[in-house]
Structure 1
Amino acid sequence: MTLKRKAVLIAAGAVLAVTIGVAGTAVYQHENERDAASASGMELTYNADFSDDANLAGEAEDLFYGKVTALKGQKDLGIGAETQYAVEVQRVFKGDVTGTIVVNQQGGKDADGNIVDLPDGDALIQVGSRYLFATKYNSDQKFNTVIPVYGDVPIPNTEADAPGSPDANGDGQSTMSDRWVAAVQDQNDLSTAPPADEPTEEPADDPTPEASPTESS
């Protein structure tokens, strides 16, 4: 599959050393959010559609299923509120996370309890719930930041039905586990995407040519 991609910055945490991969369909198309994201350093592939599991798996450094056990706190790292949670890792589909880790999400609450800085289409992670997490590791802050909107998928358990997904283990039933095993098997390599063509600047209208001087007789 060939995707036309353009790297842009997306808000998600303090500076990361990695450069990779939000959906052209998500809210990050807006100039003000791209400007704010430049403070975070997390880069995502602009025209990759992260509603596509193969793209999400290809973008994530860690793809895992876990239970949110506690709210750890909230920070503002220069791009707005970000919230940290303790997550018990229960199954890993990609990466090497183990035990209980800190998962960071863009968005949080203000002093009055109002939700702020949360990308459109996303919802705050809930303590006690289980999710499929697609994340990137922030080595400065020592936490895993979820890919906005598509990187925190609430699911009850990995054996829940997943109609339409491949039967990855061949047992005749398509489950959430099968869905993400297949996603990793079929993941798209977004890091090698060619840059999008720069727009060609249209020339200004040709000026009206000056009349040639008339030779005097």
Structure 2
Amino acid sequence: MNRKPISRRTAVVVATAVIAALGAGTAGFVAYQESDEGNAAVGETAEMHLTFDADFSVDTNLAGGAEDLFYGKVTALKGQKDLGVGPETQYAVAVQRVFKGDVTGTVVVNQLGGTDEEGVLLLPEGDHLLQVGKRYLFATNYNEEQRFNTLIPVHGDQPIPDTEAGAPGVPDSDGNGQATMSDRWVAAVRDQADLSTAPPEPEPTEEPEEDPTPKASPTPGS
């Protein structure tokens, strides 16, 4: 069955929750979110439309916006939570190589998206749920309260079967004569963008009164 679409006011509140869920490293980057979840039926997929102040399809921005950038294998599905944004899904990930940060061993990676209580799969536009058994490049920020690493949506999980796979056009960072996926992310961290400062908020404009009281006309001789 179809449900009432999410309102603009609700969407703005949800966008604030998304910022909190992603962690301090990306605070200020999610500018607005709206969802067409209310138009989806059971068993269908609905999309969240996210707007960022940084283009995370650019490697140096992704590296700059992440506290941890690492390569690993999804070993298990841990569960799902709703922290006020909508469904979020947690996975166990075995860390295999770290390009930035200090993650080790097996960590819990949290992904924005999942199946809601009415059976609708809700995901950021262009994103897909992680798959157990697959290897990815993960760009995450740590959620201190929940003690998991939350993915930067859409671009923060990139399928990579092997870090030593060729990467044409990428600088040969280790000088072994072959540009690889490892070289790609070493270079991204080396040249990472500084995204630590959110853009300044616009100055508020003074709104005129709706029904301004007219000033009295001056009388002769006054």
Q: TM-score, normalised by structure 1?
A: 0.74
Identical aligned pairs, as a percentage? Answer: 65
After superposition, the CA RMSD in angstroms is 3.4
Specify whether residues 152 and 168 from structure 1 end up closer, same or farther in structure 2 by C-alpha distance, changes over 3 A only. same
1:99-178 map, 5 Å: 99-110=105-116, 114-116=120-122, 118-178=123-183
Q: C-alpha displacement at 1:20, in angstroms?
A: 4.0
* CA gap 1:173/1:23 in 2 versus in 1, 3 angstroms: farther
- Aligned with 2:82 (options 65, 76, 90): 76
Give yes or no for contact 1:134–1:146 (8 Å, CA) kept in 2. Answer: yes
Q: Which residue of 1 is the match for residue 43 of structure 2?
A: none
Equivalent residue for 1:11, pick from 11, 15, 18: 18
- Asked if structure 1 preserves the Cα contact closer than 8 Å seen for 2:63 and 2:69, the reply is yes
Runs of 4+ that moved beyond 6 A: 201-204, 210-215
Question: How many correspondences in the alignment?
Answer: 193
Is the 2:173–2:179 contact (alpha carbons within 8 Å) kept by the matching residues of 1?
yes
| 2:67 corresponding residue in structure 1 | 61
Aligned to 1:29: 32
TM-score by length of 2: 0.72
Shift of 1:63: 0.4
Please state whether the residue corresponding to 1:191 is helix, strand or coil. coil
**Which residues of structure 1 form unaligned runs of 5+?**
1-7, 34-43, 205-209
Q: Which amino acid aligns with 1:11?
A: V
Gap change, CA 1:69 and 1:13, over 3 Å in 2: farther
